Structure formats: structure tokens, C-alpha cells
Structure 1
Amino acid sequence: MALSIMERKGTKPSSLMDVVEFMRENRWCVGLVPEYLRFIKLLMTIPGSSCSNERSFSVLRHEIKVMLQALDLKLEGFERSIQYDLYKKFQEIKEEVRAVHRPDLTLALQRRSILPAFPKTDLQDFKDFDQQLLNPEMFEAFKPFILLHSDRLTDMNSAFNVIIPMIIDKNVQMQYTGFERPKNNVAKENFSTTHSFLIFEEIILQKCPNTVSVKDINRKLSRGLSQAPDRKERLNKIAKAGSSGSNREAVTDP
């Protein structure tokens, strides 16, 4: 019917645009051929090429992949956090169970609320706490606390590897040396004179009276603190390598 109307008006369409122009000039016939008009609109919305659509789907696939990788990293972080919280809670329960038959461990648990949060991540914060150990109440809370966490440790090396990082983190360890000896011509604080270390040293000597001497403890302290920058650097390299690997995977489009 639409073609008949156009022929009566002397129009012979050779393209879609000819039909569109005719409809614009003769709007009275739009109501006569509504289905034909709908068909023309549909033809005008069909893309002439699929290249643009394919590019859009390619970009969308890449964005989805990046989002999934970012989500995986967040989930891994949540998983580690949950595992750490569960492990920490499990350790607290174990300590409470062990303390049932150990008056000294029970005392440590009772006085734990007096102590601040550990490990110390700031040098001045640790110094302030160390001075607080001159207070008998703080001292009597800290010593059972160290004794509690070293209760199952059987040798000096394991005690150092567990207790020192529990008190101060790597950043603070890097600012200390065993006996105020400079490291790479950089002056550092003397950890052997801190009240925290003296308490720790006393406990180690009590636990291993026949196998460990003061000289052994001092040697281990010097070696451990001198290696703190190397351990920090290794951890940073591992973290950077993992981060760069994830970024390379994220920007690679299959």
C-alpha cells in the first residue's frame, strides 16, 4: 500500500532515504501505513557493520576480567584476615585451657588488659612503653605475658623468632642494633639496654639454664637485628613481584 501511494505521487524510491524523505513530506499518509513506518524505523536502527559491536564486546570482556581479578585479590585478603582472626582466637582459647592448671599463666591472662597492643610499629611508641615497665604494675603484667607466649618454646632461636616480632615489628627492629653498633655507618638505638629485652633475657636464661648463656643471647640479638633490613627488603620485593604480576595479568587481553 505504501508503494502504491508513492507511485500515485510520482515517487519511485531507490533507497531507504527516499522513503524517509517521502514520509517527512507527506505526513498525512503515516497513519495509513503504521506497520510500514515501524518497519522503516527498524531498518534505520540496524547497524551497517558489526565491527563497533565486536569492539564493544571485546572491551567489556577485558573489563569483566579485570574486575574479577580485583575481586579475587579482595577475597584472598578477606580470607587471610579471617584465617588470622580464627588463628588468634584459637590461640587465646588454647592459652586459657593451659592456664587452668597453671597459676602463673592464669595471672598473665588476668593482667593482659593492662598491656597495650602489640607489636609496636613506631619507635617512640615502643620507647614510651619500655619506660612504663619501670612501673611495677606494668612490669608484673608484661613478664607473665612474655612467659605465656614462650611457654611452649624449647630453644633460644625459636624464642627470638616468636617473641621479638611479637613486641616490635620489622620497622622498629630496623632502628635498633644489639649493642649500639652502627650499621652501614648509621647510628642506631641499643636494644640490649631496653627493659623489654632484659625481661626477655631473664626468661630465656630461666628456661634454658644449661644450654644458653648471656653471650649466646647477645650474639643472637646482634645477628637478628642486623638482618632485619634484609628481611624487610625481601618481603618488599616479594610483595612488589606479586603486585606487578597481578597487574600484568590484568592488562593483558586474551
Structure 2
Amino acid sequence: MDAAGSERAALLGISEGAAMCALFAVTYPQRTRALITISGFARRSWAPDYPWGASDEERRSFLEQIERGWGGPVALGRRAPSLATDERFRQWWATFLWLSASPHRPRSMVGCGLPWRDEVRVEGEQRMVHVEESVSIDRPIEEVFTYLTDIGRQPEWVSIMQESVKTSNGPTGMGTTYRQVVKFLGRRIETNNEVTSYDPPNVYEFRTTSGPTRGQMRFTLTAEGQGTKILQSIDGETAGLFKLADPIVARTMKKQFAADLETLKTMLESGVAENSAG
């Protein structure tokens, strides 16, 4: 919109696009003139607070129908039951599907949520986001741990972080508290955090005590010869606006983790982190 010089826009979201347009409208109300949704839904998959969603078994069955019958009138009974026996319309629908995409493409689009069940899972009445990424760094584990746990310097390698300030006295360790400001999915978010596990040079873990995502972030470091392997993981509960977009949150986090760990690797291996400290 900025590139096009558009200050406000009317949003039209169809199917999966409805949730994205709703998310944009709530995040940027001053940029939204109107919101129109067609055949929208909050999520595809079943959850305790969303019984209208399809189970994994139902979705897999639908994917099998796509694989077996693409090029024919697939799912016409669901889309237009009153026309399901109209031969002329059946032929039109089959041609429309065939010309729109190959059989692989719709399967990958419709089934994209299934692999993410490991990253957005249900525990009791809550939906939990789980994301993890890893990287190998050609630097000693002690050096990596020291830089990684320097709270004030985390904005140097965490792309979304704007501020990171300790709110407790003394060196970093169990019980250390700090405040951070990040920009995530277009929103400025302030969080308060507490270190819950600190075992140099192997484990650094903290929990978020305030903000739209509550959970535990853990860094596990393992020596690999003269280098270090880092496993970063988070288990969190989304709330408010972000609860609507669990899969989006998970995917965005995963991409962010991968990019940030690569930045961390580059800074340590190139000596930039050490030089900037001096």
C-alpha cells in the first residue's frame, strides 16, 4: 500500500484470505476503509473451542479425493449440492479445476495445515505453539553462550527486537528479569521476561510473563569439536488477536528463528560480535 501511495483500502478476503484480511483490519484500522469476507473461517482444523473445524482424518480423506479425482467434479457436492447432478455444470466445474492447477498444487495448499499440527497443538482447552530451529557455529561453546545470553546485546542479532533492558540487579542468572520490545507481524509488543534456567555453557531458558504470547524460550548448546550447535525452541500459548492466527504465528516464528540464528552465526564467526563489544 505504501509503495502504491494508498492510505486506506477496502479489503476483500475469500476463504483463507478472510482471516488474513481480518488480521490486517484489526492491526491497521487506520489503513482499512472496509472489510468484506466471503466463505471465511477462523481456522480449518478442529479444536475444543472450534468444533466446526475438520478433523485430521476428514482433511486427509479430502486430500485423497483430490489426488484420485482431480480433473473431475471434485467436492462439487460440498460446494454446490443443488448442482451436483447437473451434468453440464459438472463438466464446467471439472474443467475449471483442471485449468486452475495441477493435482499437486491444490493438495499442497489444502493440506498445508497438516504438517503444522506439530507446531500448533491442542493441550486441554489451550492451543500451544511449538517451534524449533538449530544452527552450528564454528566458535567455542563458552564464547557462544556468553554472547547469546548478553541481554543488552540481543537486539544485535534478533531481527524483530528493538529494545532489551535488564530490570533486575546483578549478573544474568536464575531469576534475572528484563523487558523487551519487539515488532512482530506489524505490531509493537512489549514483554516482561524471567530467566528460569541458567546452566553455562549449555542451557539458557526464560519465560515471558506478559504479552500476547506466553511461554518458554529455550536455548540448548552442545559442543561439536571446536564449534557449537544451538537448538532454539519455544512452547507458548497465543492470546487475543494472535490466537486467531496460530499457524501464521508459528510459521513466522520459524522463519524468524532461522534467520536470526544465521545472523548470530555470521556475527560470531566473522568476529563482528567481539569487535563491537570492544
TM bucket, shorter chain: under 0.3
Q: Return the TM-score normalized by structure 1.
A: 0.24
Q: Which has the larger radius of gyration?
A: 1
Higher strand share: 2
Higher helix share: 1
Q: Return the TM-score normalized by structure 2.
A: 0.23
